[in-house]
Amino acid sequence: MTTELDTPYDTLPPTATADFTRDGFVHLSGVLSPETIAEYEPTITSEVIRLNTQHLPLAERDTYGKAFLQVMNLWRQHEKVKELVFSRRLAGIAAQLLGVHSVRLYHDQALYKEPSGGITPWHADQYYWPLSSDRCVTIWLPLQETPLEMGPLAFARGSHNFAFGRDLGISDESEERLAQAVAEQKFEDVVEPFALGDASFHRGWTFHHAGPNRGSVPRRVMTVIYLDADVRITEPTNEFQRNDIASWMPGAQIGQVPQTPLNPVLYAGPA
């Protein structure tokens, strides 16, 4: 049976690809229906609870630990989650925004910011990724309405073209130095609430952050990272990148396209 996850997203604004190229991100409405999210949220949440390894009280964690509970590659744990992660609709949007023919999976991750959870420091994801180009994109899909008080993801408009700070992992240092750089460069800090069914897509080098969760329930978010299917692995520049090759592209070699069982092509456009 064809589901919404398999059907094209036919309401992509005509300027979305140009906006994404210029700004480094785009916030789209109605990417999935509330009914579809309601079908998958309980399974994702139960898997996060089952697989979570963070058991320290919030007060005893560092800044990274206070930012969110993080569980990776849920698609390998539950067939229901795999249906969402392998959605042709979502992957098709990623391919269209990147301007590429096809995209493959890097990995997914659930990010749950608990009530009273702290900030997510300024950072760029691609610091962690040993990839030959910036043709990669992350979907940030909230599983509930996300008002400003819950800490929605926020982006520095145009920062993906700014080379400073690409040697910084997510940390107190990245928060301080990148916040200063964003202000000095006059990048607009774009923070907006997300309605149920909204999603954002951002490039690997786009600086982004999130505020604390001042709400009374967890801010539940599912993310998927898509790569241009022709991107190759490059020599790692830090220990995180070495770990990423072993964890998310096992068996792939430097200079190769990561055609591993963990990195299937999720969308290929017409030949």
CATH code, domain with 109 = 2.60.120.620
Q: Which residue has the tokens 């190229």?
A: 21
266 belongs to a structural domain: no
pLDDT value at residue 2: 59
Question: Do residues 149 and 217 touch, judged by C-beta distance below 8 A?
Answer: no
* pLDDT score, position 23: 98
**Residue 18 belongs to some domain of the structure:** yes
Cβ–Cβ under 8 Å, residues 89 and 4: yes
Look at residue 270 in the predicted model and tell me its pLDDT. 77
Is position 80 within any domain? yes
From first to last of its 271 residues, the chain has per-residue pLDDT tens of 459 999 999 989 999 999 999 999 999 999 999 999 999 999 999 999 999 999 999 999 999 999 999 999 999 999 999 999 999 999 999 999 999 999 999 999 999 999 999 999 999 999 999 999 999 999 999 999 999 999 999 999 999 999 999 999 999 999 999 999 999 999 999 999 999 999 999 999 999 999 999 999 999 999 999 999 999 999 999 999 999 999 999 999 999 999 999 999 999 987 6
**CA dihedral angle for residue 263, residue 125, residue 156, residue 210, rounded to 10 degrees:** 100
User: Could you give phi then psi for residue 217, rounded to 5 degrees?
Assistant: -130, 160
In a domain, 152, yes or no: yes
pTM of the model: 0.96
Question: What pLDDT does residue 242 have?
Answer: 97
The total domain count for the chain is: 1
Residue 271 lies in a domain: no
The phi-psi region of residue 116 (left if phi > 0; otherwise alpha if psi is between -120 and 50; otherwise beta) is left
Closest to 265 in 3D by CA, of 104, 82, 88: 104
- Interatomic CA distance for residues 99 and 90, integer angstroms: 14
What pLDDT does residue 31 have? 98
Residue 262 within any structural domain of the chain: no
C-alpha closest to that of 44 among 3, 74, 6, 86? 74
Is residue 185 assigned to a domain?
A: yes
The answer to whether residue 139 sits within a structural domain is yes
- Contacts of residues 174-182 at CB distance under 8 Å and 24 or more positions apart, as own/partner, are 174/121, 174/122, 174/123, 175/63, 175/119, 175/121, 175/122, 175/209, 178/121, 178/122, 178/123, 178/207, 178/209, 179/122, 179/209, 182/122, 182/156, 182/207
> Which range of residues forms the domain containing residue 216?
4-249
